Amino acid sequence: MHRRTLLVAAALSPAAAMAASGVRALAAGHTFGFSADGSQFLLDGKVLQIRSGEMHPARIPVQYWRHRIRMAKAMGLNTIALYVMWNYLEERPGVFDLTTDRRDFAAFVRLCAQEGMYVLLRPGPYVCGEWDLGGLPSYLLRKPSVRLRVNARQDPDYMAAVTRYVNTIAPVVRPLMAANGGPILMVQIENEYGSYGSDATYLEQLRQLWLTAGVEGPFYTQDGLGQVVANHTNVTGGAIGLSGGTSSDIRACRSAYPRVPAMSGELYPGWLTHWGESAFAGQDTDLSGALRELMDAGQSFNVYVVHGGTNFGYWAGANANDDGSGYTADITTYDYGAPITEQGRPAPRYTAYRSLIGGYPGVSLPPVPDPVPTLTRTGGDAPVPSAYASLWDNLPAPLPAEQTVTPQPMENYGQNAGFMLYRKPLSGYAGATLEVTSVHDYATVFLDGVYQGGISRPAVPSAYATPLKVTTGSRLTLGPAGSAPTLDILVEGMGRTNFGHGLVDRKGITQQVSLSGAGPLNGTVSDWRTHALPVDEAYVAALRPGISDPGRAGIFFRATVDLDATGDTYLDMSGWTKGVVWVNGRNLGRYWAIGPQQRLYCPAPWLTVGQNEILVLDLHQLRPQPIPFRAALTDPPASSPTGAAAKSSTCRAGPPRPVRS
């Protein structure tokens, strides 16, 4: 049990406090800084307890941003923390989008201000966040010798890209800082760097980038207590956020850094979940004790996450060991066991946390916003798609032959996500064993269009692997075919590793393909025809209907659904195998029969009164199944009057993450 403690306010006048913290107020702005002894955060010279909840605009439909902010405020919070995902803003080098849909993080920050909420801005460049490559752009991986999260001397190309990013968003951030009348209290420098390195030069170069670009802070860093103490990964004049930080952790941090303010920068109400795990993680976590100690002590905190949202599209990340082994991809939902569910409703512990925080002096509790209505269609009302188009009939032109002598990952061709097809005629074939090193991350293999089996980098249960002939090794025995069949290896890139030293996680075939037991064909296979298949919104919008070979997996199924009213819903994909779903052209994300997630969130604003299109690409299925519309991510247990899903996982189990583990 944590010990209860009280924090005594520093006896500083407002003027003295501002002078001690080095904060200079502008005429229309506020002063935010730290007391001279580091014990307090100060806003306009008065003690401010930061009661923050994290949510990410990239994971929330724009139409729901205000609703989610209000949900956090109604829980007694006064601040929103948010990651800015660099790779979501700059998918191609030098081409930034800061205004389209969920990328307009500045609009989200302004909404926070309108709702009377402060902001902690976490722009990276690296954020982790269970997001593809931890928010770093995948175009960086095109350089064979790339080094990530290093200073300019160690990799000038990396730091040049970071500089371009900071210089692009800093003019947007600057007017939103508290000193300029905006809601942003602090800007985080990097993220959990103490779990990666100890290069003070790198952190200082990042800080200087912001200063040069006109953002003067205050700044803070984020680390586990053990990491920041061991690796000294705080920055000059900055506060320290602690991952998993308890009240006692804050005291210990202040003992190690006596004049540096500290807060619980990530207080976990749940945990992340990977494909193939037995249940959604973190459902049994109860923050009540930790929150009570923080509130008793007047210490600042950030609930990570108060609302998780959804990894729409191909943006979910992954975890792996530093050598790339033990790869596990994150599921599409980022529900996280948070007090506000993926669809914005109060989770079972929301009310308890709200009552706890609201019981302290000075905390006001606005009404809880009404939930968004839900839409269900089950049984005979559930839509059943029809086979519509084939991936194989919609192949783009192959890449130039001189670029495909050996199989290359998608990043080498400027592709960020989706699929790669590696094609090779095998003249003189009489049987063989195929070896692919290494598949990143899931391959289906065909000879003259006949399915041979699959290769999965993530572990899969035997109940799934055996009937589909999917191996988690690198070798696959090929069956009989003609004397010159075409070998097709279709590779799906799943989430890039977002934590640890294995961040250089390229997608597709990352090394080589060879044959054994193939007579004259033995050895390394070269001279491929390679097709880049991003299978993005533009690709699916241009699909040519028709299926020349209905017995070949890789089929797009399509359903049209007429609605007389819209509502939030979950598409139940439990009758399907592995693939991706679009609704009215928007990518809802991946599904996979190995679970635990079986339903994909579809927000009401992405539906329309009248006709709606559901499009499904399944990598194995030849026949469609119904897609019921459900009201929630999971059904409540029959014995639970509150509908709380009781799971055995906790936030302390799971991936090899030294900070969030």
Give the DSSP letter of residue 355. Answer: H
390 Cβ neighbours under 8 A, 6+ residues apart: 546, 547, 548, 549, 552, 554, 555, 556
pLDDT higher than 90, residue 553: yes
Q: Which of 548, 660, 658, 661 is nearest to 195 (CA)?
A: 658
635 Cβ neighbours under 8 A, 6+ residues apart: none
Q: What is the pLDDT of residue 15?
A: 33
> Mean pLDDT for the chain?
92
Q: What is the pLDDT of residue 615?
A: 98
- Using only C-alpha atoms, the chain has a radius of gyration, in whole angstroms, of 26
Q: What is the pLDDT of residue 28?
A: 56
Q: What is the pLDDT of residue 639?
A: 55
Q: CB pairs under 8 A, 24+ apart, for 27-32?
A: 28/180, 28/181, 29/177, 29/178, 29/179, 29/180, 29/181, 29/182, 30/178, 30/179, 30/181, 31/178, 31/179, 32/178, 32/179, 32/185, 32/186, 32/218
Q: What is the pLDDT of residue 21?
A: 34
411 is annotated as an active-site residue: no
Q: Which of 54, 192, 293, 342 is catalytic?
A: 192
Enumerate the H helices of 470-591 as residue ranges: 537-541
192 is annotated as an active-site residue: yes
239-243 and 262-267 beta bridge pairing:
parallel
Mean pLDDT in residue range 226-255: 97
Mean pLDDT in residue range 304-314: 98
Query: pLDDT exceeding 70 applies to what percent of the chain?
Result: 92
Mean pLDDT in residue range 14-18: 34
Band of the pLDDT at 550, cuts 50, 70, 90? Answer: very high
Q: What is the pLDDT of residue 638?
A: 66
Residue 625 to residue 614: CA distance in whole angstroms: 13
pTM of the predicted structure, to 2 decimals: 0.92
Q: What is the pLDDT of residue 354?
A: 98
Q: Where do we find the tokens 């009248």?
A: 610
pLDDT per position as a tens digit, 388-433 = 999 999 999 999 999 999 999 999 999 999 999 999 999 999 999 9
Q: Which of 54, 90, 130, 266 is catalytic?
A: 266
Residue 331 to residue 278: CA distance in whole angstroms: 12
